Protein backbone atom coordinates (compact mmCIF):
# COMPACT_ATOMS: atom_id res chain seq x y z
CA UNK A 1 0.00 0.00 0.00
CA UNK A 2 2.88 2.37 0.83
CA UNK A 3 4.45 1.78 -2.61
CA UNK A 4 1.14 2.54 -4.31
CA UNK A 5 0.91 5.87 -2.50
CA UNK A 6 4.51 6.73 -3.42
CA UNK A 7 3.85 6.02 -7.11
CA UNK A 8 0.57 7.95 -6.88
CA UNK A 9 2.25 11.04 -5.41
CA UNK A 10 4.90 11.01 -8.13
CA UNK A 11 2.18 10.44 -10.75
CA UNK A 12 0.22 13.44 -9.49
CA UNK A 13 3.27 15.68 -9.82
CA UNK A 14 4.10 14.28 -13.27
CA UNK A 15 0.55 14.73 -14.54
CA UNK A 16 0.36 18.27 -13.16
CA UNK A 17 3.70 19.09 -14.82
CA UNK A 18 2.44 17.71 -18.14
CA UNK A 19 -0.63 19.92 -17.93
CA UNK A 20 1.53 22.90 -16.96
CA UNK A 21 3.63 22.42 -20.10
CA UNK A 22 0.44 22.24 -22.15
CA UNK A 23 -0.75 25.54 -20.69
CA UNK A 24 2.64 27.17 -21.24
CA UNK A 25 2.92 26.08 -24.87
CA UNK A 26 -0.66 26.41 -26.10
CA UNK A 27 -0.37 30.21 -26.23
CA UNK A 28 2.61 30.13 -28.59
CA UNK A 29 1.63 27.02 -30.54
CA UNK A 30 -2.18 27.22 -30.71
CA UNK A 31 -2.07 26.06 -34.33
CA UNK A 32 0.13 23.08 -33.35
CA UNK A 33 -1.41 21.58 -30.18
CA UNK A 34 0.74 18.45 -30.52
CA UNK A 35 3.80 20.55 -29.67
CA UNK A 36 3.24 20.17 -25.92
CA UNK A 37 2.94 16.40 -26.32
CA UNK A 38 6.19 16.29 -28.27
CA UNK A 39 7.96 18.40 -25.64
CA UNK A 40 6.65 16.25 -22.80
CA UNK A 41 7.59 13.00 -24.55
CA UNK A 42 11.12 14.15 -25.35
CA UNK A 43 11.75 15.66 -21.91
CA UNK A 44 10.29 12.54 -20.28
CA UNK A 45 12.61 10.30 -22.28
CA UNK A 46 15.62 12.39 -21.29
CA UNK A 47 14.56 12.39 -17.64
CA UNK A 48 13.95 8.64 -17.41
CA UNK A 49 17.25 8.03 -19.20
CA UNK A 50 19.13 10.26 -16.76
CA UNK A 51 17.46 8.63 -13.77
CA UNK A 52 17.89 5.03 -14.91
CA UNK A 53 21.43 5.74 -16.11
CA UNK A 54 22.54 6.70 -12.65
CA UNK A 55 22.17 10.49 -12.42
CA UNK A 56 21.35 9.85 -8.78
CA UNK A 57 21.59 6.66 -6.75
CA UNK A 58 18.03 5.40 -6.50
CA UNK A 59 16.75 3.17 -3.76
CA UNK A 60 13.47 1.34 -4.37
CA UNK A 61 11.30 4.07 -2.84
CA UNK A 62 13.00 6.87 -4.78
CA UNK A 63 12.86 4.82 -7.97
CA UNK A 64 9.14 4.19 -7.51
CA UNK A 65 8.51 7.89 -6.92
CA UNK A 66 10.68 9.28 -9.73
CA UNK A 67 10.54 6.62 -12.46
CA UNK A 68 7.20 4.85 -12.04
CA UNK A 69 5.38 7.83 -10.53
CA UNK A 70 6.79 11.10 -11.83
CA UNK A 71 7.94 9.90 -15.26
CA UNK A 72 4.95 7.57 -15.59
CA UNK A 73 2.54 10.38 -14.79
CA UNK A 74 4.42 12.82 -16.98
CA UNK A 75 4.50 10.50 -20.00
CA UNK A 76 4.30 6.77 -20.60
CA UNK A 77 6.31 7.43 -23.75
CA UNK A 78 9.36 7.71 -21.51
CA UNK A 79 8.79 4.13 -20.36
CA UNK A 80 8.42 3.08 -23.99
CA UNK A 81 11.78 4.73 -24.68
CA UNK A 82 13.44 3.00 -21.72
CA UNK A 83 12.01 -0.40 -22.68
CA UNK A 84 13.26 0.11 -26.23
CA UNK A 85 16.71 1.08 -24.96
CA UNK A 86 16.87 -2.07 -22.81
CA UNK A 87 15.94 -4.25 -25.79
CA UNK A 88 18.62 -2.66 -27.97
CA UNK A 89 21.22 -2.75 -25.18
CA UNK A 90 20.51 -6.46 -24.61
CA UNK A 91 20.89 -7.17 -28.33
CA UNK A 92 17.23 -7.86 -29.07
CA UNK A 93 17.11 -5.68 -32.18
CA UNK A 94 14.31 -7.56 -33.96
CA UNK A 95 12.19 -7.53 -30.79
CA UNK A 96 12.82 -3.79 -30.49
CA UNK A 97 11.56 -3.14 -34.02
CA UNK A 98 8.54 -5.38 -33.45
CA UNK A 99 7.82 -3.67 -30.12
CA UNK A 100 8.21 -0.16 -31.59
CA UNK A 101 6.10 -0.99 -34.64
CA UNK A 102 3.37 -2.68 -32.62
CA UNK A 103 3.30 0.24 -30.18
CA UNK A 104 3.06 2.91 -32.83
CA UNK A 105 0.88 1.21 -35.41
CA UNK A 106 -1.19 -0.67 -32.84
CA UNK A 107 -1.65 2.41 -30.69
CA UNK A 108 -2.79 4.53 -33.61
CA UNK A 109 -5.05 1.75 -34.91
CA UNK A 110 -6.69 1.26 -31.51
CA UNK A 111 -7.09 5.01 -31.04
CA UNK A 112 -8.79 5.18 -34.44
CA UNK A 113 -10.96 2.15 -33.64
CA UNK A 114 -12.07 3.61 -30.31
CA UNK A 115 -12.77 7.00 -31.83
CA UNK A 116 -14.66 5.46 -34.75
CA UNK A 117 -16.66 3.15 -32.49
CA UNK A 118 -17.82 5.93 -30.17
CA UNK A 119 -18.72 8.22 -33.05
CA UNK A 120 -20.92 5.51 -34.55
CA UNK A 121 -22.96 4.87 -31.40
CA atoms within 13 A on the CB side of 9: 11
Q: In the predicted model, is pLDDT for residue 60 greater than 70?
A: yes
pLDDT at 27: 87
Q: In the predicted model, is pLDDT for residue 18 greater than 90?
A: yes
Question: Across residues 1-28, what is the average pLDDT?
Answer: 95
Q: What is the per-residue pLDDT across 78-94, written as a single tens digit (0 to 9) for each?
A: 889 989 999 999 999 99
- Burial class of 9 by CB neighbour count within 10 A (0 to 12, 13 to 18, 19+): middle
Q: What is the per-residue pLDDT across 32-58, written as a single tens digit (0 to 9) for each?
A: 878 888 899 899 999 998 988 887 788
pLDDT at 97: 96
Give one word for 54, left, alpha or beta, with left for phi > 0 and alpha for psi -120 to 50: left
pLDDT at 121: 67
Lowest model confidence (mean pLDDT) among 11-20, 89-98, 101-110: 101-110
pLDDT at 115: 86
DSSP assignments along 30-91, one per residue: TT-THHHHHHHHHHHHHHHHHHHTTSS---HHHHIIIIIIIIHHH-THHHHHHHHHHHHHTT
Amino acid sequence: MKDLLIVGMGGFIGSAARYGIYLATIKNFADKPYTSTLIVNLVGCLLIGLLSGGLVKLNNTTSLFLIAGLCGGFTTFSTFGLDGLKLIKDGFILQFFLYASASMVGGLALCFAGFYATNRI
